[in-house]
Structure 1
């Protein structure tokens, strides 16, 4: 009851509850991995036409996210996920706009940079540091100065990530306690906070009017564009929410007792030829790792590099991801 009362108190004061702000953050973090699943499917199904999309996915998503976030910041003074939960960004100093429901130009550009550029740079740095960490675990980093710098960068990055998580938790706790106007440090740096958005004005025409005009031949694209465009945007928003729900449903592990035992795979000539060897480097395993989709055992560095590049088993061409790898501990 105390939590529910606190939720009501924050809402009556015009400040979104902690459930709303965390839900919109979760929704925003779902779009990129969800679209990546679609791109992976297309690259496997049409490797010659869509294979390049997976290699340059980060850059393509950067372009898509820039256009999407800019549109919502320009028209709704909020990000894509914030607009879905009917929230908008307002300056914490005046608590009101001087030019209507719009952000000042400098705050709009700064918000776009923090929403788009910062996550892109963070993902690129994360991938680079992860590759250095794998090289260190595989013993490919020596005692030279550049290799020592790479080892130090891995340690520093881990410390930075832990510190950022701790700062985020502390800032969110201050927001829940009513001591902060913004729930995140990025909004606080910009001097912004989230507030419930006013109701959007209804469209001049309805979908029923659109259908009647289509049948009577009295269709004019200019006057119907706001209705159709708004419907398309809401479809994207609810589609992202549906993808988030499907991801949650997919992560629920089914009991192993309810699954039938699969038949053992038939041994082929390739398995005999590569016995106790990695099918990629044709050497003895170094950190043996099995790919469950095909059952072949590889060196961890070899198969991880292959999956990052092509997202499929190099022997059977079955689609797979790096997250499905299983480490083996053999003598």
Structure 2
């Protein structure tokens, strides 16, 4: 196979990119230093939709999302079931998928790793025809995400304390929502819940693992139903997540499904869509699209590969 060509979509307004002042010239130099040919798109005068369309239509076989989770999701949606692969340069605040795929968070190291990365096919989720890579959450949590947006770029102690006060005020006033859940071929369940999350694949349990996924190709969605969420629930669940024991918590119901439909008496609902607060129409119709996206992943170090082989032989 010949050398890859790269089309990089730089979102200079993403969290880390904005703080560090990442420029197209810097990225170009990093690619050239590693012997890679790249076209850098940093055209902020164009909409993201136009820039994504240009990247997909271009000749490069690898489209690089240099930005946060929103940029990555937008490009992934356009590349699903195509002959191009997605690559990630994590420049956002959360960088959830990059962490799942063990992509280096340091920009220079991430660029260098592209030269030896290999394509891997992963599942994606879909809700009402829209692609998501992590999870979609409705209920109490999107309101908290809106509060988080208020302090984006402001990491002072006062701002963080303000967000904490906002969180507990919302928690004290939070009301449960009435929904009907229709999962696969099961009976429809009418329930009142604090929040519902639908994730592509499943979040792992384990000490210190906080919303991380080891496997992205199991071909399932995971339904997380938060039945109630008092201050005591918050403390217990947070501690359980840090200790790696949370799936059996009595406030939470976890179910693996291929598809699920969530109905509400409201025609529109606020949702946290891969970390961004958006408005979706109901009902919310979810399905998993197995192995629909090709994405570059770093090659594991030789020592790690050797460990895996030793385990396999044991």
TM-score range, shorter chain: under 0.3
* Greater fraction of residues in strand: 2
Higher radius of gyration, 1 or 2: 1
* Greater fraction of residues in helix: 1
Q: TM-score, normalised by structure 1?
A: 0.22
Q: TM-score, normalised by structure 2?
A: 0.23
